[in-house]
């Protein structure tokens, strides 16, 4: 590992060079030879730093790294509001706009010098969830209003979900993706439904972590850090937040009624009920949630 190994090796190389300044017979090595040895030492250290891969441990810099919302083809993505309009999920992970448009975040990981950090494992890159609320005995630094636990949602059974992991390791330029619906191995940024990628409700922030370092969001790649906070709407709007069995991860008639009551209203709920991201709660949103009424972790797709 570059930053961990090089400091350990360089003292050894320096000591070796210093010891070699004296011949076995006690006479000094000529100055030119010592200078050559010094140059070789610098060259060896430089080659070593190039040969060893960068690693994530202690190097991810939150000021140069970031995530950005995207949708559409990876080669020609849409960013900003044009992407976040598709950031709506169903507890059954079957919301077509989210899947068909490959709703995702692009993650760019760099060190303090701005150099990319490749080969960070996918499992070390997460949208972090607590799995439930403090009322359910769940705590941590992840989103605490997203419901994704089997303990309180066992009938029908729901998967435990704590880390919505990256599609793959960071590439040579420090880039990877988290595609919300899931993805196929080796095809990052392209949505494929994952039956273990299910959750209910929503949170005002879904924190993104890389090897324990929380990243800031950018609305577009050209925007400053902190200009965007990840949020994903959910068709499961109410219930499931208390210590009540089997009340979460379910699109109930109560959820549908909330949207019906808020049609054409503008208040604190508008963002969360605006499932198509067009800026208002209208008949299109009502039709969306009505079509998913009754959906839970095993219906209509099991798993």
Regarding whether 62 and 38 lie in a shared domain, the answer is no
Regarding whether 102 and 14 lie in a shared domain, the answer is no
Regarding whether 141 and 29 lie in a shared domain, the answer is no
pTM: 0.81
What pLDDT does 215 receive?
A: 98
Which letter does DSSP use for residue 132 in this model? Answer: S
Tell me if 148 sits within 8 A of 161, measured CB to CB. Answer: yes
Q: How many domains does the chain have?
A: 2
Regarding whether 135 and 35 lie in a shared domain, the answer is no
CA distance 225 to 284: 33
Asked whether residue 211 carries a pLDDT value surpassing 90, the answer given is yes
- Structural domain that includes position 26: 2-51
Q: 3-state DSSP call for residue 105?
A: strand
Which secondary-structure segment (H or E) carries 81?
helix 81-84
Regarding whether 297 and 231 lie in a shared domain, the answer is yes
Regarding whether 81 and 15 lie in a shared domain, the answer is no
Regarding whether 73 and 35 lie in a shared domain, the answer is no
Short-list 175, 87, 194, 189, CA closest to 125: 175
Regarding whether 127 and 47 lie in a shared domain, the answer is no
Dump pLDDT digits (tens) for 34-92. Answer: 333 444 333 343 433 334 344 444 599 999 999 999 999 999 999 999 999 999 999 99
Dump pLDDT digits (tens) for 267-300. Answer: 999 999 999 999 999 999 999 999 999 999 999 9
- Taking phi over 0 as left and psi of -120 to 50 as alpha, with beta for the rest, 212 belongs to left
């Amino acid at each position: 590992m570059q930053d961990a190994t090089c400091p350990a090796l360089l003292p050894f190389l320096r000591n070796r060079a210093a010891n070699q300044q004296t011949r076995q017979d006690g006479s000094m090595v000529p100055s030119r030879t010592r200078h050559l040895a010094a140059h070789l030492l610098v060259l060896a250290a430089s080659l070593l730093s190039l040969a060893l891969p960068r690693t994530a441990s202690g190097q991810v810099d939150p000021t140069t790294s970031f995530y950005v919302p995207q949708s559409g083809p990876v080669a020609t993505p849409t960013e900003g509001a044009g992407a976040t309009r598709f950031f709506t999920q169903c507890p059954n992970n079957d919301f077509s706009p989210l899947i068909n448009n490959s709703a995702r975040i692009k993650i760019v990981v760099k060190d303090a010098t701005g150099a990319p950090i490749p080969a960070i494992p996918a499992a070390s890159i997460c949208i972090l969830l607590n799995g439930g609320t403090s009322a359910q005995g769940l705590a941590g630094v992840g989103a605490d209003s997203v419901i994704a636990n089997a303990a309180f949602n066992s009938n029908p059974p729901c998967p435990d979900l704590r880390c919505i992991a990256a599609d793959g390791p960071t590439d040579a330029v420090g880039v990877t993706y988290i595609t919300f619906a899931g993805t196929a191995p080796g095809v990052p940024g392209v949505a494929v439904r994952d039956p273990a990628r299910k959750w209910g409700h929503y949170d005002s922030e879904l924190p993104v972590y890389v090897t324990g370092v929380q990243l800031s969001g950018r609305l577009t790649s050209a925007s400053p850090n902190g200009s965007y906070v990840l949020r994903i709407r959910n068709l499961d709007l109410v219930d499931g937040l208390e210590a009540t069995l089997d009340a979460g991860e379910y699109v109930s008639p109560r959820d549908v009624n909330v949207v019906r009551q808020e049609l054409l209203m503008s208040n604190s709920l508008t963002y969360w009920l605006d499932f198509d991201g067009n800026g208002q709660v209208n008949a299109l949103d009502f039709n969306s949630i009505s079509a998913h009424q009754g959906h839970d972790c095993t219906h209509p797709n099991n798993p």
